[in-house]
Amino acid sequence: MPQRPIQFWFRGRLTEVRDVSPQRTVLQWLREDAHATGSKEGCGEGDCGACTVVIGSRDDTARGGVRLDAVNSCIQLLPTLDGKALFTVEDLAQPEHLHPVQQAMVETHASQCGFCTPGFVMSLWADYEMRDAAPSREEVKTCLSGNLCRCTGYRPIIDAAQRAWQQPACKMDRTPLRATLDTLAAMPALDYTSHGQRFIAPRSLAALAQHCETMPQARLLAGSTDIGLWVTKQLRQLGDILYLGAVDELKTITHTEAYIEIGAGASLSAAFAVLVQEDPHWQELAERFASLPVRNAGTLGGNVANGSPIGDSMPALIALDSQIVLQKGARVRSLALEDFYLAYQKTALEAGEFVRAVRVPRHREDAAFRTWKVSKRAEQDISAVCAGFSLHIEDGMVREVRLAFGGMAATPKRAAQAEAALRGQPFSEITVRAAMAALAQDFQPLDDMRASAAYRLQVAQNLVWRLWLECSPDTGQPAPARLQDLQAVQS
């Protein structure tokens, strides 16, 4: 049977691509093959946003049955577009008039050198399409968290996001698009080989499990927010690729009495939405975790499976005693997430096995949960230290405590000594100080460009102190304010 090409909606019609390498990026295809040069390469690692495009995908909960997400085209592989729609900056304007977000950008003088501008326009357009009323300034900043501008200082771009709503509405009619996406969804699953490399996008868990077993050497790919960099930065050959993004069952999020099960294919945006609803103490991490385009593309399963010592979701998940659900063939097993990590970039995942879900225990009224990230920049940075804490106090005594950290060791790791210093002890300044001191036995962090070892350790200790300040029953003081909640003094 001849293989079918990669098929997606582009420039208002169905586009078919054959004969490109499965690891060609969307941006390379746009700029070099389609000669669509509006999207720019600024960094090749999904950090600057000059390449931002918008991906349309089927979603019955969204208007017109299609959701639109801004993503970084420089780290997305072209075959992942199969069954989706691709929009770039060239799609927005009519010959004679600009789209409201473009017009607003002109009116607020929001471009200077203009190189980052197409990316900003696409982030703003996705936001414009996906909401029903003008965004607040905080919402705009979230929308723009994945776009860097070196010229303007951002103020006029933030203004433009709001000003676009002062013009007559100009929303895309998604009906014909949905019809095409439905047609594509009825096609057989993509199994595409070119340049000696195979790209398979199974549609069901069963098919995925089967492929994993028969091709244990295949590279599992989800949001591509890390693996994309292996391609663009390390110039690695990925070999055969098994893509998880077409398995709808992997994207489900279910609530039980005991836990929330987040499918490994659920985006970070979707996962954080549920987690924040469960416990608002997730909010601060949710806002600081990478950027919106990375959260749209990246998955919680990917963050966990990748096992990076600086992955930001794991400290909180470990603090909550989350389980990781693994599948190999028909066998499904679960284990404590903390036991999944064996050594630097080494996990308990067996050959042919894949991460199916993460189970996060439900919020407990009797336990406090906190997670904090510390980095040079508030948005879209990699942690110097990331902490997740869970604390159960009963009658002034620490019944249970879990202190987990990222950035402190070769894996995300609990602070065993510090926990021991607290567990079963009165929750008091003395025991908290003892726990802080014990952290020095738990961790020997590294010096690098993000922070010194001394800083990492001190901040880890200070975050335990903050836990005390926030959860102490008897200090009589309100918890210290968080920087992001402050406003300038009134005179």
- Subset of 33-52 contacting another protein (CB under 8 A): 35, 37-45, 47-48, 50
* Residue 379 found at the interface with another protein (CB under 8 A): yes
Which segment (207-215, 238-246, 424-432, 462-470) binds another protein by CB under 8 A?
Answer: 462-470
Count of other CB atoms within 10 angstroms of residue 360: 26
* Residue 433 found at the interface with another protein (CB under 8 A): no
* Residue 449 found at the interface with another protein (CB under 8 A): yes
- Cβ nearer to another protein, comparing 369 with 468: 468
The dihedral of CA 342, 347, 352, 356: what is its sign? positive
The interface with another protein within residues 265-284 (CB under 8 A) comprises: none
Residue 474: in which H helix or E strand, if any?
none
* Residue 437 found at the interface with another protein (CB under 8 A): no
* Residue 162 found at the interface with another protein (CB under 8 A): no
Residue 140 CA to chain centroid, in angstroms?
A: 18
- Considering only 207, 465, 471, 472, the residue that binds another protein (CB under 8 A) is 465
Residue 470 CB, nearest approach to another protein (Å): 11
- Considering only 233, 255, 362, 364, the residue that binds another protein (CB under 8 A) is 233
Which segment (61-69, 112-120, 350-358, 429-437) binds another protein by CB under 8 A?
Answer: 112-120
SS3 call for 220:
strand
* Residue 454 found at the interface with another protein (CB under 8 A): yes
> Per-residue x/- marks for another protein, 59-88, CB under 8 A?
-----------------------------x
- Considering only 169, 258, 330, 486, the residue that binds another protein (CB under 8 A) is 486
- Cβ nearer to another protein, comparing 256 with 487: 487
What Cα–Cα distance (Å) separates residue 135 from each residue in 29, 158, 406, 442? 33, 10, 33, 44
SS3 call for 352:
coil
- Distance, CA of 174 to CA of 156 (rounded, Å): 30
> Dihedrals φ, ψ of 445, to 5°?
-70, 175
Residue 1 CB, nearest approach to another protein (Å): 30
Pairing state of beta strands 219-221 and 241-243? parallel
The interface with another protein within residues 336-375 (CB under 8 A) comprises: 374-375
- Cβ nearer to another protein, comparing 42 with 302: 42
> Dihedrals φ, ψ of 363, to 5°?
-60, 135
Give which of 259, 290, 292, 291 is closest to 274, Cα–Cα.
259
- Cβ nearer to another protein, comparing 180 with 232: 232
- Considering only 92, 244, 319, 409, the residue that binds another protein (CB under 8 A) is 92
**DSSP letters along 377-430, please?**
SSSSB--SEEEEEEEEEETTEEEEEEEEEESSSSS-EE-HHHHHHHTTSB-SHH
- Distance, CA of 150 to CA of 407 (rounded, Å): 29
Give the tokens for residue 148: 């860097």
* Residue 295 found at the interface with another protein (CB under 8 A): no
Pairing state of beta strands 354-361 and 259-263? antiparallel
* Residue 18 found at the interface with another protein (CB under 8 A): no
- Considering only 59, 90, 191, 321, the residue that binds another protein (CB under 8 A) is 90
- Cβ nearer to another protein, comparing 204 with 458: 458
Q: Residue 390 in contact with residue 368, Cβ under 8 Å?
A: yes
Give which of 65, 53, 59 is closest to 92, Cα–Cα.
53
> Dihedrals φ, ψ of 256, to 5°?
-120, 180
* Residue 377 found at the interface with another protein (CB under 8 A): yes
- Considering only 177, 355, 382, 391, the residue that binds another protein (CB under 8 A) is 382
* Residue 116 found at the interface with another protein (CB under 8 A): yes
The interface with another protein within residues 137-156 (CB under 8 A) comprises: 137, 140-141, 144-145, 147-156
- Considering only 54, 66, 77, 89, the residue that binds another protein (CB under 8 A) is 89
Q: Residue 323 in contact with residue 407, Cβ under 8 Å?
A: no
Specify the DSSP class assigned to residue 365: T
Count of other CB atoms within 10 angstroms of residue 91: 19
